[in-house]
Amino acid sequence: MVAAYIGEPDRQTLIESHAGLNAEFFSSLSGDISPDSLFNQLIEALTSGGDARLVLEAETGLNRYYSAPYPRDVIAFASSTANDISRPAFDHLLAKWAAGTPAYSEWLDDLRSRIRSAYSLSRNVEIAFAPSGTDLEYVALAAVAGRSAGGIHNILLGADEVGSGCIFSAHGRYFAETTARGIATTKGDTVEGLETVSLIDIPVRDAEGTALSSRQCVERIRQQLQQAQAADRFPVVHVVHGSKTGLILPSSHDLAELASEWKDRALFVVDACQARMHEDVAAQYLDLGCIVFVTGSKFMGGPPFSGVALIPRDLVEKAAPLPAGFRKIFRAAEWPSSWVGGDDLADEENVGLALRLEAAIFELERYVAIPPADREAVIALFRECVSQMVSANLGFEELLPHHPDEPERGERHPTAMRTLTTLDVSNLDQAPTFAAAQAMHRQLVDHGVRLGQPVKCIRREDEEWAGTLRIGLSMPQISMLARLSSSEAKNLLEEDLARVARAIQRLG
């Protein structure tokens, strides 16, 4: 293995160099937590080993998504964007930090075992880790690099609904000014070894904002597959299991047909980065030969950011050596040991990533331990309370997570996907447009309310995008609510969502 680059501090460096954080950061700190030395060391570690999105602003103690790596007493239904860490997960990390963290490679191997257990995956599934969901795009490109003389044709489904940085990483380019290894790069420059990647975006909505049907989606994917074949480029097809607005495209049936038709001639990647899926769904996609992307910072409820790629072993065995540019982005332990070229990556630790993953998998394990019937009951209560306390109360329409002519898909929409509701708030004087809704989203934070960011998904008559907001439940919230009686859970949800509605009314 190559010598470590200077970039990510190890645990001892974090402890020795810690200069303390501004106490004003913690005005909303949850409960009886005291921001002592151990607390501050953990916060500094949790915000290391990523890109600028992890940085806490000096004025607020929050990152650019208004979330924090410490528990806070705020009303938050923002799992579609970013979470504050839960108190149980934070306590879990504090105990682990105080006891001394394990060696990085051992820690990640343990996390791999726990992920396989939670998702009921076999040992034939390899797992790679990434500093964020955006970095996961590089995994798919590495899996097929060199397979065709003309390079790779990356077919991205719904770029507006999967993350803004993905249009760079999916194109084989750097998406930030600094990588998670602390190495300076130029945003938009090609990652060395990924020079021949073309990218096409297939919108998941038409010009009016209506979601495509599964069949429409398949037709557009098939056109791109044929174009890639004609150009002697190996196609990578990104499908979505849970976009920013809860879309699943194409349907599982249609994806299975496509994957069978193009077996060994294309790679299908399931973007399940929201992680709103039943624990047996990942295995179903993997059985089709797909790579599955999940992140720990959305529905799982972990702190920003962390990424997990679930990869069929045969893809790893057939893969070319990792691109040279990956030495600027990844550490050796983050890749399956059998992937050729992994030994050329830096033999160093990313304590921040390991901690963020630890928190996310802790939440995943708590969630899957809840009986499915209890989860479903909590989610049904959430849906009922959102509709009554917010949508009906304020006259908002709830966006359909499917094409209007596919009501049967709505009836079969997975339970975990029902934890997210996208609201059309354009009837408000202060949020008629997407830009105005963005401003309201920021203002809600000052009122102690965090919701999911607006998404461009509804077209107004004047051709502008309408204002939206998203309300999402997280795994830690479900774990907490499932411990309560039905009446207690309903009362708590009604109280919190009533506060959300009042805050919106004050601003609207």
Pairing of strands 152-157, 234-241: parallel
pLDDT of residue 24: 55
Q: In what order do the strands lie in the sheet with 397-398?
A: 397-398, 420-424, 468-472
What pTM was estimated for this model as a whole?
0.93
Instruction: Tokens for 245, please give them.
Output: 């607005």
**Could you tell me which residues come within 8 angstroms of residue 129 by beta carbon, excluding any fewer than 6 positions away?**
108, 111, 306, 307, 308, 309, 334, 353, 357
| Ordered structural domains, the chain, with CATH | 104-365 (3.40.640.10), 372-507 (3.90.1150)
Query: For the chain, which residues score pLDDT lower than 70?
Result: 1-28, 31, 163
pLDDT of residue 410: 75
Instruction: Give the orientation angle of helix 475-482 with respect to helix 87-99, to 10 degrees.
Output: 110
- CA distance to 156, 191, 292, 325, 496, per residue, from 502 (Å): 39, 48, 39, 50, 10
Residue 433 near residue 464 (C-beta atoms within 8 A): yes
pLDDT of residue 26: 60
